[in-house]
Amino acid sequence: MKFMIVGKGGAETEAGTLPSQEVVDSMHAYNEALAKAGVLLAAEGLYPSSQGAQIAYSGGKATVIDGPFAEAKELIAGFWLIQVKSREEAIEWAMRVPVPPGSDGIGLDVWRVFDASDVPDDSLPADEREREQALRERLGVDTPGT
């Protein structure tokens, strides 16, 4: 099963303030532990929302909203994509994320990632499943569910 651990942003991440060297070292150690355990698929930090955009839909039309965005506590500062055996294991890994001092209120979300292996074989036409597999092979992505 794949899970995404989403790190919430705050005033400091929105200001583009870099974490202390101690926090950076802790994050590197955490990422190395994920990699050594063979569960890490990707991990990235994100720039402040001032460098992002949102796409809003109304009446079937898309509108671009440039950042920064007002609700910093609802923003994402970074993520880890992991592949584990269960939701409980994903939560265990999330509980190990190093938390910078004074980070009260900043938290994590743990989301299961939906992929083609979650769809029963008999409900997805063979050509669709083959097309999905061909795309994954072309992109060098592991087979879903492995």
pLDDT, tens digit, 9 for 90 and up, residues 42-95 = 999 999 999 999 999 999 999 999 999 877 667 899 999 999 999 999 999 999
Tokens of 5: 């651990």
Residue 89 makes CB contacts below 8 A (sequence gap 6+) with 39
pLDDT at residue number 146: 46
Residues 105 and 145 in one domain: no
Residues 29 and 99 in one domain: yes
87 within 8 A of 1, measured Cβ to Cβ: yes
Global pTM reads 0.79
The domain total for the chain is: 2
Q: Which structural domain, as residue segments, surrounds residue 36? A: 2-113
Beta-strand ranges (E) seen in 49-126 are 53-58, 61-66, 76-83, 108-112
